[in-house]
Homo-oligomer: A and B are copies of this chain.
Amino acid sequence: MNDTIRVVLADDHFFVRDGIKSLLESEKNIVVVGEATDGLEALEVVTTTKPDLLIVDIRMPHHTGIEVVEKLRNQNNTVKIIVLSMHESEEYVLKSIKAGADGYLLKGSSKEEFLKALHAVANGGKYFTGDISSILINQLTSATSTLEPKPALAEDLTITKREKEILTLLLSGKGNKEIAEALEISKRTAEVHRFNLMKKLKVKNLMELSNKATEYSLI
């Protein structure tokens, strides 16, 4: 595509850098233009050599790889960055993404995957190894993911104030008795409210109530 990819390696272990270097040597359009053995040095070397790509280990003395990413992005440095990690750490993966890394690889990656990631990132893409996909998927499926178009508020069903109170307590894990106590009403009353709620929402048990309630964000 375009000319050579200029790479900086940052890892405190010589043998790791060497391993990567020999791996990259076989590729003709990749050249390692700098190396660093800790976070501070990595920042320096990137600033002076202005590489296309920085491959940085997470665990390093003086600033972790993630901190390096953060600092570079804070100074609006658009160098592409691939973070290397020993293990599949959810915390590290998410922090790396947030910091602005373009890729995330495990040290056990195959040469093929390594090069694939390198080219993908150098070409402006992202590459996060499939090994950590569970983390990404968890993030996407949990919480307020953008996957759902819109919960679509219920139009005709009306929930009364009291029913909403009961709902809240119900979803917090309270039983009828506890709800009755909390609201200083009879247990039977709490039961009726619960019954009416379930009828209104057309559900047949607590979990469906819970699911539907959150779906329509009634709480």
Contact = CB atoms under 8 A, between A and B. Distances in A.
A40 interface: no
A197 to B, nearest CB: 14
A23 to B, nearest CB: 16
Contacts of A128: 130, 133, 136-137
Interface residues of A, number: 52
A98 interface: yes
A142 to B, nearest CB: 6
**Most chain-B Cβ atoms within 10 A of its Cβ — which of A103, A110, A145?**
A145
A181 to B, nearest CB: 15
A101 to B, nearest CB: 9
* Number of identical monomers bound together in the oligomeric complex: 2
A208 interface: yes
A43 interface: no
A150 B142 CA distance: 11
- Which 7 pairs across A and B sit closest by C-beta, in order of nearness? A128-B133, A143-B146, A173-B208, A126-B134, A173-B207, A136-B136, A98-B147
A141 interface: yes
A90 interface: yes
A159 to B, nearest CB: 15
B137 A171 contact: no
Given A145-B139, A203-B173, A207-B210, A130 B150 contact: no
A59 B126 CA distance: 25
